[in-house]
Amino acid sequence: MSKCAVCGKFAVSYNSEKQPVCSKHGRSKVNAPSCPECGLTMKIREGKFGGFWGCIAFPGCDGIRKIS
């Protein structure tokens, strides 16, 4: 199950940027955080334990952040 990119709750759909969002944030535009390792932007990725922010330079950079 995906988490909302804005608040971290259960996502029910995707916004125009194809990021998972809950019903409250369906039309919200999400500002992607910067990678703590290299400073590039991050995108939402799915893992074994749910969604998280991952660096766009993966596998060269393995910076991650929790969706809060």
> For each of the chain's 68 residues, which pLDDT tens digit applies?
677 877 778 888 887 777 788 888 777 777 788 999 998 988 888 888 888 889 989 989 999 998 86
Confidence at residue 1, expressed as pLDDT on a 0 to 100 scale: 61
Ranges of each domain in the chain: 13-65
d(CA 68, CA 51): 10
Looking at residue 63, its pLDDT comes to 93
pLDDT at res. 5: 77
Q: Which two tokens stand for residue 59?
A: 């596998």
* 49: alpha, beta or left? (left if phi > 0; alpha if psi -120 to 50): alpha
